[in-house]
Amino acid sequence: MSSHASVASLNASAPSEPPCLNTAVNLVSQTPLWSTLQQRAAGISTIKELFRADPQRFRRFSVSACGMLLDYSKQRIDAPVLSELLALARQQQLEARRDAMLAGAAINSTENRAVLHSVLRLPKGTRFLLDGADIAADVHAVLARMRSFSDAVRDGRWVGHTGKAIRTIVNIGIGGSDLGPQMACSALAPWAQPGLTLHFVSNVDGRHLADTLQQADPETTLFVVASKTFTTMETLTNAGTARAWMLGRGCPQASICQHFVALSTNVDAAQQFGIAPENVFPFWNWAGGRYSLWSAIGLSIMLYVGADRFEEMLAGAHAMDLHFAQAPLEQNLPVLMALVGVWNINFLGQQALSIAPYHQRLHRLPAYLQQLEMESNGKSVTRAGQRVDYATAPILFGEAGTNGQHAYFQCLHQGAAITPTDFIAVIEDDSGLPQHNRALLANCFAQSKAMAHGKDLDQVRAELPDAPAWLLPHRVFEGNRPSSTLLLDALTPRSLGGLIALYEHKVFVQSVIWDINAFDQWGVELGKSLALQLISLDPDAVNEDYDSSTRGLLQILQSK
């Protein structure tokens, strides 16, 4: 069997989505396993005690795969808890639901769509049938078009309206059409094309675009308009203004096609906007916005680092797909990360998650994961529409280490609420400054040790024998604050692909435990439609449904 056969071969059997659980009774929180885990949580030892009781704890609670190690030994978890969490995953039909997703079942039930970001990274030549069509072939046809366009831009064959090569790329998009490409380009900066500057404009706040255009030359700038739906107000506003800027600065209408390309599932809308058909790179509704950086939405990444590097990123993600599909749950990185999260959120009552990448080039990872986790699992009804009575997505935030240490880590160490942390560290130093890398890694390991073990009153007293009693508690660290460490051999296109896919699958596993749909985002719709109603900012144009606060704010604007 070839290495990729098992993801695609699931497609052949195409199991349908298992039926939703009975709406009346079967919230996961009402199952005996949930109660057992609640009882376990009440009696679980502290992290310090767990280490003391088991000298082999690191070996027992760490797993390596796909060029990375997950150390979850500093989580407040023991063997019985782990085995019950795995039983919970099986009770929630994790394996069947995973296979259904990978096989192309329409698991995004509220939109009746398959969820197939894994197909975007299948190796060339692998077939994958959806509704009778080989969508893997479609994926590779678009990748080939992206490659030839990107090569032409990078080697100067694609020129602007005055015949000059492109020097500046402006990606216009928001949410999944911005965060993933932006995070990946920052992570892969060492592979960037010299002489090519890349900007990301997302906010409808005109300052974002205006500040960017100030740095751009209309003769040598390419706008990449990225929008899955091509209806997003922010993106269309920014793209329209960018087009007017080009036309107002000497670009003839007939040459505008040399400066604009679009990435969208809505090819008609992109063409209606005025983008030449040959400049539209399509993708498909079965790729969710926040799972789309592997598709045409990744064109800015490809332009920045080249098609070969982009394909290495896809290969790394595919390796993680295989691991997710094949590894036993006990050894499965996304499954273990997800279960640890469920344990912390639902049983230890720790609702937040801090992401601390100890690698400056991963500084956009927390923002990317914020959308991935919170837009995917920020839901409060089950697939069958029943209100849940348990917490779902974590409140996720983060900052690159060591910067975060000097900002919010105080709260992680001594705050009244406990916030678990994912530390992400990279062994290889490519800065050329090895002493910095040693300091970076030392800080990373020191933080997780401090969080886990803390410093008790006796230790503080021994250190400060003459201090008054009231001062001592200020110096105490309770410890018992859980963290995991992901240790990557190196940050490369391949390992980045694996890292992102790891979190994608983790999010899916948690959605299975919570029995929610991770792939829709109805929660952002209401605010969008209200913004359209308010667009005139005229208080007389809004009806009685509007509260006195909204009316009052509009009236103040009108009076200015």
Q: Is 165 exposed, middle or buried (0-12, 13-18, 19+ CB in 10 A)?
A: middle
- Shortest Å, Cβ 181 to ligand F6P: 11
Identify the three-state secondary structure at position 323.
helix
- Rounded distance between C-alpha atoms, residue 462 and residue 556, angstroms: 61
Residue with the two structure tokens 């704010």: 553
- Shortest Å, Cβ 520 to ligand F6P: 9
- Shortest Å, Cβ 47 to ligand F6P: 36
- Shortest Å, Cβ 189 to ligand F6P: 23
Identify the three-state secondary structure at position 261.
strand
CA-closest candidate to residue 365, choices 450, 265, 486, 447: 486
Phi then psi dihedrals of residue 78, to 5 deg:
-130, 180
- Shortest Å, Cβ 229 to ligand F6P: 3
- Shortest Å, Cβ 228 to ligand F6P: 4
Tell me whether residue 103 or residue 224 sits nearer to ligand F6P (CB atom): 224
DSSP-derived letter for residue 164 is P
Give, in order, the Cα–Cα distances in Å from 468 to each of 53, 464, 553: 34, 9, 52
Residue with the two structure tokens 């900012």: 537
Phi then psi dihedrals of residue 485, to 5 deg:
-120, 125
Q: What are 440's two structure tokens? A: 């970076």
Q: What are 438's two structure tokens? A: 């040693």
453 noted as active-site residue: no
Q: Which helix (H) or strand (E) holds 413?
A: helix 409-414
Task: Output the furthest CA–CA distance in the chain (Å, rounded).
Answer: 81
Tell me whether residue 231 or residue 253 sits nearer to ligand F6P (CB atom): 231
Phi then psi dihedrals of residue 100, to 5 deg:
-65, -45
Strands (E), 109-266: 129-130, 133-134, 168-172, 197-201, 221-226, 260-264
Tell me whether residue 357 or residue 378 sits nearer to ligand F6P (CB atom): 378
CA-closest candidate to residue 337, choices 295, 372, 301: 372
- Shortest Å, Cβ 76 to ligand F6P: 33
- Shortest Å, Cβ 290 to ligand F6P: 5
Tell me whether residue 235 or residue 346 sits nearer to ligand F6P (CB atom): 235
DSSP-derived letter for residue 265 is S
Q: What are 384's two structure tokens? A: 């069958």
406 noted as active-site residue: yes
- Rounded distance between C-alpha atoms, residue 209 and residue 216, angstroms: 10
Identify the three-state secondary structure at position 542.
coil
Q: What are 186's two structure tokens? A: 């920052």
84 noted as active-site residue: no
Tell me whether residue 173 or residue 482 sits nearer to ligand F6P (CB atom): 173
- Shortest Å, Cβ 318 to ligand F6P: 22
- Rounded distance between C-alpha atoms, residue 292 and residue 175, angstroms: 10
Residues 6+ apart with CB under 8 A from 470: none
Tell me whether residue 72 or residue 223 sits nearer to ligand F6P (CB atom): 223
Tell me whether residue 180 or residue 482 sits nearer to ligand F6P (CB atom): 180
Tell me whether residue 72 or residue 230 sits nearer to ligand F6P (CB atom): 230
Kindly name the residue from 84, 219, 375, 399 that is annotated as catalytic. 375
Tell me whether residue 228 or residue 505 sits nearer to ligand F6P (CB atom): 228
Binding site for ligand F6P (CB under 6 A): 174-177, 227-229, 232, 235, 289-290, 375, 521, 524
Kindly name the residue from 124, 164, 436, 528 that is annotated as catalytic. 528
Identify the three-state secondary structure at position 97.
helix
Tell me whether residue 227 or residue 354 sits nearer to ligand F6P (CB atom): 227
Kindly name the residue from 406, 428, 463, 525 that is annotated as catalytic. 406
- Shortest Å, Cβ 142 to ligand F6P: 16
Count of CB atoms situated within 10 Å of the CB of 290: 27
Tell me whether residue 111 or residue 429 sits nearer to ligand F6P (CB atom): 111
CB 61 within 8 A of CB 51: no
Range list of H helices, 203-359: 206-213, 233-248, 267-273, 299-305, 307-326, 333-342
Phi then psi dihedrals of residue 283, to 5 deg:
-145, -165
- Shortest Å, Cβ 177 to ligand F6P: 4
Residues 6+ apart with CB under 8 A from 378: 392, 393, 523
Catalytic positions, please? 375, 406, 528
